[in-house]
Amino acid sequence: MELVKAVDALWKRGWLPYDVREIVARSLDESATSLVVDVIALSCSPHPPATVHPRWQRQLEEIGASVWWEGPLLEAWATRHIETRSYAERTAAELLKFLGRLPSLPQILPLPGDVLMSAVRAGLDPKVLNRVRGLLAKAESTAFPEEAEALSAKAQELMNRHALERAMLDADLPAQATSRRMWLDKSYFKEKSQLVHVVAEAFRSRAVAYDGFGFVALVGDEVDLESVELLSTSLLVQATRAMVAAGGKAGKGSEARSRPFRKSFLVAYASRIGERLAAVPSADVVEDERLLPVLADRKQAVDTLFDEMFTRTRTSRVTVRSAAGWGAGRAAADVADIGTGRSSVTSG
């Protein structure tokens, strides 16, 4: 099938399952998105699970890519979606043309069939991950800033402490950096990517925004990058909620509901979050000097991989056109939950 060959070619050009589904969903219609998910499932199905990287496998599960049909895919797809064969063929032709135009991306994971589970370095401990997700979910849902701050503080402390403990446990292993892609909403992408950037810096990682596609490429240690994704996602929820609330309190046609206000709000929010994160050094590093050479090796590994992946980058500039939006954004960031300033993590 030509579509399977096209998807196989994308894997060799650096794309991952979630990337392909996301770019198709943002560029074509729901039919093409549904079809490409099935093609992805068909492409990956011949490979035993033990030879598929865990992150690759999680992406397949996240987008719902599984072989649910028997026989030719197009016929089964058309029947399932109550469409004609000719409609399925037109959708497939449009999708094939689109996939063939996608450019290459840096290769960040081994292809299916090229990796053994034992060769993969683990990320966040599942117990830690579940607890962090629970804390951040509560922080995002509460209407009380003080409660959100306490919950996020616990999550941030837990993630950072776990990352540093893992760094000491892995001290005898070669420093190893990896990369991830974090897709953001199209609206105000440039401003939101600034927030991801400052969080990445706080977790010893680096970030590059792909404005044309809508994702931020992250480079860092596996545990640190999971933490960046978790905290960035939570802060984006908090920022968006605060931004919408500011506009909701204003009358129709007011500045607080304008695009310049919202852009300025998000830029200021990211700027202030960056200041707050930078102002709180990790107590664990200060207390245990054995971590310093380990983290220095990690930084060198991150910088080396970053330079290999991105030979041409440029600094992005954003323009602030609303003083009111800037002030409101900084004020919202002052009460945002970043998880710093706590000396211990309870077991509750």
Q: Which two tokens stand for residue 11?
A: 């894997």
User: What integer pLDDT is reported at residue 118 of this predicted model?
Assistant: 47
Cα 79 to chain centroid distance, Å, stands at 35
Non-local CB neighbours of 235 within 8 Å, separated by 6+ positions: 195, 199, 273, 336, 337, 338
Q: Is the pTM of this model over 0.85?
A: no
Q: Which of 44, 127, 37 is nearest to 77 (CA)?
A: 37
Q: How far apart are CA 274 and CA 253, in angstroms?
A: 31
Instruction: Give, for all 348 residues of the chain, the pLDDT tens digit.
Output: 899 999 999 999 999 999 999 999 999 999 999 999 999 999 999 998 888 998 999 999 999 999 999 999 999 999 999 999 999 999 999 999 999 999 999 999 999 988 655 455 555 567 776 777 787 778 777 776 667 667 766 776 676 666 666 665 665 667 789 999 999 998 999 999 999 999 999 888 999 999 999 999 999 988 889 889 888 988 898 888 888 887 776 666 677 778 888 899 899 999 888 888 777 655 444 455 667 777 788 899 999 999 999 987 777 667 776 787 777 777 787 777 665 433 322 222
Identify the pLDDT of residue 135: 77
Instruction: Give pLDDT, residue 341.
Output: 36
* CB proximity list for 154: less than 8 A, separation 6 or greater: 135, 339, 342, 345, 346
Count Cβ atoms within 10 A of the Cβ of residue 201 and give its class: 0-12 exposed, 13-18 middle, 19 or more buried: middle
Contacting residues for 49 by C-beta, under 8 A, at least 6 apart = 57
Give the side-chain half-sphere CA count within 13 A for 195.
33
Residue 239 and residue 300 in contact, taking contact as beta carbons nearer than 8 Å: no
pLDDT at 345: 28
Alpha-carbon 16 to chain mean position: 13
- Between CA 327 and CA 221 the distance in angstroms is 34
